[in-house]
A = this chain, B = another copy of it.
């Protein structure tokens, strides 16, 4: 087997760390960087080369993956004073797996193109668990001709790699899914709460919904009512899972893109507000299914 060429990786946080490890496992030499040097130690011990900043990574690797918390970080990592585009090689493939505003993805793609490089957006679904086990789903936007090249790398880290269309559509798909997920979760929580108040057993109600037209992922796979289902955060005091704060962030992106495209999203918008209120009332780090608890009467009331 010919040795594989090196891959750059920028952003070694909760998600980036296990993703980069999976590249190493698949035999790719990894050249990485992170704004927090301590985040790099584990990768370094596993054999990754650690550099000071994105520009230096771009100087050495012509395939780079970025995994960062939000739009400003991505803008900085690409177009900042030590950003990728300062030293990017012609023909490089730049894949951004952060969840950000699709408009920013498009800007990055334009900036990359000016330098002769190709930018693709490839946000993921599936959390830290899926990142560790290499079972992420990637939603990919960008020039179709480059999809095969991107797929080769993404397959090391994910179970599904879906081509969505032009640059930004990966983000669009991610944002759309999470908006509908939030609506389904709050809707399921309201519904289960109402049913319980009306005298229905929660397990029975979940069963009825799941064989009827009320069925959704939040009712049949991730039920927010403690005791209805095993192995989900509602059974563990809403710890683990996908934090309310992260859901609020994604709903903020959905809200912004809806505002910018003048698209009415009444339920998505209210879902955003509810998760925002929850953050203000102490639910920021609980799983987003804790909206069931937020809507319930407090004990002692």
Q: How many Å lie between the Cα of A204 and that of B173 in the bound state?
A: 9
Known: A177-B212, A200-B173. A277 touches B295 (CB 8 A): yes
- Distance in Å from the Cβ of A202 to the closest Cβ of chain B? 11
Contact present for A262 and B281 (CB under 8 Å): no
Contact present for A180 and B269 (CB under 8 Å): no
Which B residues lie within 8 Å of A193 (CB)?
263-265
**Cβ proximity bits A116-152 to B, threshold 8 Å, 1 near / 0 not:** 0000000001000000000001010000000000000
Contact present for B216 and A257 (CB under 8 Å): no
Contact present for A269 and B269 (CB under 8 Å): yes
Q: How many Å lie between the Cα of A108 and that of B197 in the bound state?
A: 20
**Cβ proximity bits A169-192 to B, threshold 8 Å, 1 near / 0 not:** 100110111111101101110111
Known: A191-B176, A194-B176, A264-B277. A137 touches B282 (CB 8 A): no
Among residues of B, the one whose C-beta sits closest to the C-beta of A184 is B216
Among residues of B, the one whose C-beta sits closest to the C-beta of A252 is B259
Contact present for A213 and B222 (CB under 8 Å): yes
Which B residues lie within 8 Å of A199 (CB)?
165-166, 168-169, 172
Which B residues lie within 8 Å of A180 (CB)?
187-188, 191, 209, 214, 216, 219
**Cβ proximity bits A225-260 to B, threshold 8 Å, 1 near / 0 not:** 000000000000000000000001000101111111
- Distance in Å from the Cβ of A191 to the closest Cβ of chain B? 4
Contact present for A102 and B264 (CB under 8 Å): no
A46: CB under 8 A from chain B? no
A195: CB under 8 A from chain B? yes
Known: A177-B214, A216-B217, A301-B279. A256 touches B254 (CB 8 A): no
User: How many residues from A make CB contacts under 8 Å with B?
Assistant: 87
Partner of A139, one of B169, B201, B208: B208
A89: CB under 8 A from chain B? no
Q: How many Å lie between the Cα of A263 and that of B191 in the bound state?
A: 10
A38: CB under 8 A from chain B? no
Contact present for A273 and B269 (CB under 8 Å): yes
A160: CB under 8 A from chain B? yes
- Which of A204, A265, A279 has the largest number of chain B CB atoms within 10 A? A265
A261: CB under 8 A from chain B? yes
**Besides the contacts A165-B204, A176-B209, what 13 more A-B pairs have beta carbons closer than 8 Å?**
A162-B208, A175-B194, A176-B191, A179-B190, A179-B214, A180-B214, A183-B183, A183-B186, A190-B263, A193-B265, A194-B268, A215-B216, A270-B270
Q: Considering the complex of A and B, which 7 residue pairs feature the smallest CB-CB distances, nearest first?
A: A216-B216, A180-B214, A183-B187, A172-B198, A177-B214, A264-B276, A266-B273
Pick 11 A–B contacts, CB within 8 A, sort by A.
A173-B208, A179-B191, A183-B190, A190-B268, A198-B257, A266-B273, A267-B270, A267-B271, A269-B269, A279-B297, A284-B301
